[in-house]
Amino acid sequence: MFSAAPRPSESAPPLDGRRGRGRAPWPIPASTLAAVGIALAWLALQIGRFLGEAPDLDAMISLRESIVFHREGLDGLLRDRLGAGVHPPLADLLTSMAFAVFGEDPRSQQLLAIVLFAVLAAAAERLLAPWLPTRQRAAAAFAIAICPAVAITIALVAREGIIVPILVVALAIALRPPAMDERRLVVLGCVLALFPLLKDTSLVLIPPFVLFATLDGDTWDSRLRRGVLVAIVPLAALLSWRAILLTEDGGAWQSWIFSDHQQDGPYVVAIRAMLGLEDLVFLRQNLANAFLVNWLWVPAGLAVATVVLTLRRPEDRARRRAVGLLALLIVFTTWTTLAFPTYAVPRYAAPVIACTVLLAALGVPLWPQRMQTPVLAVLIAVFALGAWSPTDPVSRKIWGTVSVGGERFYNTTEMQRGPDRTVYNFAALRASERVNARLRRVFASDVTMVVGDCNSMKFGEKLFSVGFQPSAFDREIPGARPIRCVLLDDLPPEAVNGPEPLGLLRTPEDLAENRPLPIAGPAVVVLR
């Protein structure tokens, strides 16, 4: 699918996609500003009211670690991780900068999402400019920004939520005709160098760009030089982070690896998974998260159609190269990352999902004229339908639904999905809102311990995180203090009659099903 770049005598698509109207007289085209404005307006309308709500599940743990990094630096974070390794520090550094400007508070981190959404929309619009007219690429950029699995990942400022906008920026640099000169190759390498500083798994996004750059050379020497220009800065960033870890006597992230070879380290396990030597259930679960759950089968089908339609147009070399790079990123990331034996969390597939939606959008002009607007409309419609509730009939048929935290989610209960399997759309924010309301009731009481389902929405860990760093949550969750959460089976029998108030947790599911109280006694205080 890759082919050599078109020579000057060969036709290439117009750079701004406006068919000869020329560029805007200011540095940022009006169409790009419009795409950003539409995306941010949608963001404000959809999730503006959740600004400041302390996140749950993995996002809550990341916030806690960022607070530790802000207060104590990398040394403190390594101590907090208790030898389990750490992710590269760029995400924590960005959050620390937000804390320094806006205060140590969940909303400070969440404000970073505004920048990330703006970058994503702008980069997607510029990426599509050579191939789509103005209205179509504005609609396509909007579709990418509102894709639920991508949008919730960015809104929570997860590492993948930072990786996706940077990935789209890199694609916009690499794919803009004409072929990259040496200056653009270096700029691309500098952008790609952010990946080793964000997360170890994002390293797999770099080789496809290096390969893409080498295909434009006229000789083997020039091709090698082009590849080196792209790879050298990311390699330097990776080695610098490794040197810092060695200096600090730290290690790469190596938690929750479900493999008999875990003691050999994450890289050995990753290679085994790539060779098919690990349980394929993890790949199957992640493939569902990337290409099926919550309407994602629609952009996946459109992406396949784009590949087929592009292969039928051998003369359209620029588009074939763009489709080839996106397809290679999808296949290579799936093979190297989504087969890894750990919890199958939806955000892990966010870069693959973003590339899939981009691939679907890139193929819109290849459809018959009367079909182009409906294709984009379908993308936007299904993403809007899946933003808050499980409306996808295919996913409902396969998994059914279940209530978690008072919200309905697809009941994707295959092994090793974990509670974070619910974070694929904005319903997770409403569930967090309920958890935080319950936390306020817990801290407003005089209980010294709570008992119940500590694992629902990771409530026990949330209780610890907020109590561990109470000053960071005082604005939205006042009165925070250390309170232990225990499961019913671990509760001492005498606690229900003891002198200290004991909080009994009641989840929204307990109340909806009118489940009887599991314990009673003079010390028991029911907390809903």
> What DSSP line would sit under 379-397, residue for residue?
HHHHHHHTTTS---HHHHH
Tell me if the pTM is above 0.85: yes
Residue 450 lies in a domain: yes
Of 22, 210, 55, 38, nearest in space to 120 by CA: 38
Higher pLDDT, 1 or 94: 94
Rounded to an integer, what distance in angstroms lies between the CA atom of residue 454 and that of residue 471?
23
**CB neighbour list of residue 374: distance below 8 Å, 6 or more residues apart:** none
- Measured at the CA of 359, the angle between CA 357 and CA 362, to 5 degrees, comes to 110
pLDDT bucket at 18, cuts 50 / 70 / 90: very low
Distance between start and end Cα atoms, the chain:
57
pLDDT tens digits for range 500-523: 899 999 989 988 999 999 988 998
Backbone phi, psi, residue 503, to 5°: -85, 125
Pairing mode of beta strands 484-486, 502-505: unpaired
pLDDT of 3 over the 90 cut: no
Residue 421 lies in a domain: no
pLDDT tens digits for range 441-450: 999 999 989 9
Asked whether the beta carbons of 96 and 66 are under 8 A apart, the reply is: yes
Higher pLDDT, 19 or 251: 251
Are residue 252 and residue 194 in the same domain, yes or no?
A: yes
Residue 248 lies in a domain: yes
CA count, 13 A, side-chain hemisphere, 19? 4
Residue 69 lies in a domain: no
| pLDDT for position 264 | 82
Residue 395 lies in a domain: no
Structure tokens at 56: 């749950």
Of 77, 72, 103, 99, nearest in space to 88 by CA: 77
- Please state the separation of Cα 470 from the chain's center in Å: 27
Rounded to an integer, what distance in angstroms lies between the CA atom of residue 334 and that of residue 352?
7
Domain boundary among 385, 415, 442: 385
| pLDDT for position 115 | 97
Mean pLDDT across 407-425: 85
pLDDT of 419 over the 90 cut: no
CA count, 13 A, side-chain hemisphere, 419? 21
Which residue do the tokens 């020579």 mark? 7
Domain boundary among 317, 351, 385: 385
pLDDT of 461 over the 50 cut: yes
Mean pLDDT, rounded, of the chain? 90
Bridge partners (DSSP) of residue 404 are 407
Are residue 321 and residue 437 in the same domain, yes or no?
A: no
Are residue 480 and residue 338 in the same domain, yes or no?
A: no
**CB neighbour list of residue 278: distance below 8 Å, 6 or more residues apart:** 259, 269, 272, 339, 340, 341
How crowded is residue 88: how many other Cβ atoms within 10 Å of its Cβ? 25
pLDDT bucket at 75, cuts 50 / 70 / 90: confident
- Min mean pLDDT across 20-34, 188-202, 383-397 is at 20-34
Are residue 358 and residue 437 in the same domain, yes or no?
A: no
How many structural domains compose the chain?
Answer: 2
Helix axes 317-336, 266-274, angle to 10 degrees: 120
CA pseudo-torsion sign 215, 334, 354, 394? positive
pLDDT tens digits for range 23-51: 445 588 999 999 999 999 999 999 999 99
Are residue 363 and residue 447 in the same domain, yes or no?
A: no
Of 322, 323, 328, 295, nearest in space to 307 by CA: 323
Are residue 244 and residue 334 in the same domain, yes or no?
A: yes
Mean pLDDT across 160-179: 95
Rounded to an integer, what distance in angstroms lies between the CA atom of residue 514 and that of residue 306?
51
Give whole-number Cα distances, 507 to 248, 403, 405, 465, in Å. Answer: 42, 10, 7, 19
Residue 51 DSSP symbol = T
Asked whether the beta carbons of 340 and 283 are under 8 A apart, the reply is: no
Of 57, 289, 303, nearest in space to 150 by CA: 289
Structure tokens at 423: 């974070």
Structure tokens at 389: 């509730």
Asked whether the beta carbons of 497 and 521 are under 8 A apart, the reply is: yes
User: 326: domain range?
Assistant: 30-51+111-385
% the chain with pLDDT above 90: 71
Are residue 367 and residue 436 in the same domain, yes or no?
A: no
Residue 252 DSSP symbol = B
DSSP string, 294-307: TTTHHHHHHHHHHH
pLDDT bucket at 400, cuts 50 / 70 / 90: very high
Residue 437 DSSP symbol = H
Asked whether the beta carbons of 484 and 515 are under 8 A apart, the reply is: no
Rounded to an integer, what distance in angstroms lies between the CA atom of residue 392 and that of residue 396?
6
Backbone phi, psi, residue 450, to 5°: -120, 155
Rounded to an integer, what distance in angstroms lies between the CA atom of residue 58 and that of residue 55?
8
Mean pLDDT across 360-380: 96
**CB neighbour list of residue 243: distance below 8 Å, 6 or more residues apart:** none
Rounded to an integer, what distance in angstroms lies between the CA atom of residue 105 and that of residue 205?
32
Are residue 185 and residue 332 in the same domain, yes or no?
A: yes
Q: What ranges make up the beta strands (E) of 236-383?
A: none
| pLDDT for position 152 | 97
Q: Which helix (H) or strand (E) holds 109?
A: helix 106-110
Domain boundary among 385, 416, 449: 385
Mean pLDDT across 334-341: 93
Residue 465 lies in a domain: yes
Are residue 355 and residue 459 in the same domain, yes or no?
A: no
Asked whether the beta carbons of 525 and 502 are under 8 A apart, the reply is: yes
pLDDT tens digits for range 288-316: 999 999 999 999 999 999 999 999 988 88
Are residue 337 and residue 434 in the same domain, yes or no?
A: no
Residue 186 lies in a domain: yes
Which residue do the tokens 């679960």 mark? 285
Are residue 359 and residue 446 in the same domain, yes or no?
A: no
Rounded to an integer, what distance in angstroms lies between the CA atom of residue 169 and that of residue 171?
5
Query: Amino acid identity, residue 420?
Result: D
